Amino acid sequence: MKWRKTIVTGMCFVLTASMLAACTKGSGETSTEKRVLRIGVMYGSKDNESYFRQQYTDTFEVLNGDIELKIEYATDYNKMYNRGTDEQEEQPDPYEEFLKLITGDNPVDVVIADSPDVMARLIQENNMKDLDPLIQQDKFDIDAYVPTVIEGIKSLSGDNKIYALTPTFTSSALFYNKKLFDEAGVEVPRNGMQWSEVIDLARRLTKPQDEKKQYGLLLNRYSDGFSNTQSLAAPLQLKMYDDNMDTMLVNNEGWEKIWNTVIDLYKEKITPTNEDIYAIYNENQPEDGRYVPYMDDLFIQGRVAMMISNSYYLNDLRSAKDQMEEGFQFPEWDVVTVPEHPEAPGIGSDISLSTLMGVNNKAQNPDDAWKFIKFMNSKEWANIKSRSTYEMVARKEFLKPLDGMTYNIEAFYTMKPTPPQSTNSSSLYSKYPYYYDAVFTPGQQLFQEVLSEKKTVKEALAEWETKGNANLKKMKENPKQPLVDYSADGGIIRDIY
């Protein structure tokens, strides 16, 4: 389950009297008999239920004493980790287990999905209630949602209707160092730039010959080249394999263009390799061995002009400024939207709709289910949730720069999320525990071979297709059999078939 680690401790105890009044106004509930509202989630356990309740249900229960909330888990973490040691024992499909909660004899009322892909599948299979009539009936202010969230929600169904809401989201933006651009006499980035434009800017800011090398662009903070190809490909909806996991789909012009783009960034020294980052870390290491905050952060150290990172990085920038030693020149920075592909205008990568919740079509208590969802997405809740240091709230009026900071916050909420995928990774992992080794491992190895100039991109993608197809076939024939041996030859990965 992908519950975000929202840093909002004990928020149900810090509600103000005015907020309580606003939330309870007009409820008029006088019945002493409690109604039961059942909330279904894909993963969880009794061990973490107190955290879940603190984040999502305690405040609602305080304000609605006539409603008792019960949390139902489709897959219990403890049972999941203790299951499947016997080779003959199959891991249950998490999605199928989730469906049992939703469509079984005692269906849950509220459905909270662990990802947009799961919610999209539930909607397409007619398990979720259309919320548009309820939104109109209660004059729920959906127009106050930021474009990133509302467009992402509507994309789940394919019919532009709303079947789920989320109070929060996470997003990414392009961070840039103003000083480095000023020194180079180059115009700073702007919202809505395409990848080719950003790379051209990065090329002009790259100084590999300097004693302190300067790089133009970091595609993420940890510079994993193969993962970077996945991020760039996501808005284009390029798939690695077909929906049945029978055939690889990587040997084509789309993937070739993505790989060439990332490979060229490394070859031209526009983007640092892991070795480059490690070398800078060593440069920043004091001789006395004392700790220097953020000495491995190339953006804060002023060694990279632009970097794509998520909204949580704002917290690092705020903390770093307070921790740096006297005399350290902290970068003057700002953000713009992540680059976009001309084939997918306005669509960004690494955007997540955090807690999608909807009303089950078979809900036994649909009225309270909508009441709960409406409260979780209310202005009052957004006001409290805006104190989070991880997620961003979906309502625009409560989205403000962190304390004492000034930046283009719109960069985080104007791009559309990548449309949901038709395959669900949770189901794949449960059915095929070695599916990562079958598909991703050969891709990672071949990407490194291209970087080291042992293969061309064309050759690598063709080989990835061949190896991947063979691996998928073997994986389906014997799902419990590992495809690689990590312990052989001193830890070198090798095929065992």
Beta strands in 318-399 (DSSP E): 333-336, 352-353, 357-359, 392-393
pLDDT value for 4: 38
Average pLDDT of the chain is: 87
Asked if 441 and 493 touch (Cβ cutoff 8 Å), the reply is yes
- pLDDT bracket for residue 54 (50, 70, 90): confident
Q: Does any domain span residue 121?
A: yes
Check whether residue 58 and residue 120 sit in a common domain. yes
Tell me, yes or no, whether 229 lies in a domain.
Answer: no
Q: What is the mean pLDDT of residues 372-394?
A: 89
Both 197 and 331 in a single domain? yes
Q: What is the pLDDT of residues 384-402, one digit of tens each?
A: 888 776 789 999 999 999 8
104, 153: one domain: yes
What is the per-residue pLDDT across 393-438, written as a single tens digit (0 to 9) for each?
999 999 999 887 899 999 999 999 998 876 666 677 778 888 899 9
Q: Which of 55-64, 84-93, 226-235 has the highest mean pLDDT?
A: 226-235
Residues 323 and 452 in one domain: no
Indicate the SS3 state at residue 471.
Answer: helix
What does the block give as tokens for 27? 């409820």
- Whether residue 151 is found in the same domain as residue 19: yes
What integer is the mean pLDDT of 180-186? 97
Tell whether 285 and 392 lie within a shared domain.
no
Same domain, 405 and 469: no
Number of domains in the chain: 3
Asked, for residue 417, whether it belongs to a domain, the answer is: no
Torsions phi, psi for 146 (to 5 deg)? -70, 155
Kindly state whether residue 315 falls inside one of the protein's structural domains: yes
Q: Where are the alpha helices (DSSP H) in 125-207?
A: 132-137, 147-155, 178-184, 195-205
Indicate whether 302 belongs to any domain: yes
Q: Is residue 487 part of a domain?
A: yes
Q: Are residues 37 and 149 in the same domain?
A: yes
User: 33 and 163 share a domain?
Assistant: yes
Identify whether 304 is part of a domain.
Answer: yes
Structural domain span for residue 462: 428-495
Q: What CATH number is attached to the domain comprising 323? A: 3.40.190.10
Tell me, yes or no, whether 326 and 451 share the same domain: no
The answer on 93 and 31 residing in a single domain is yes
Rounded percentage of the chain residues whose pLDDT exceeds 70: 86
Q: Are residues 82 and 156 in the same domain?
A: yes
Domain-ending residue, one of 336, 361, 389: 336
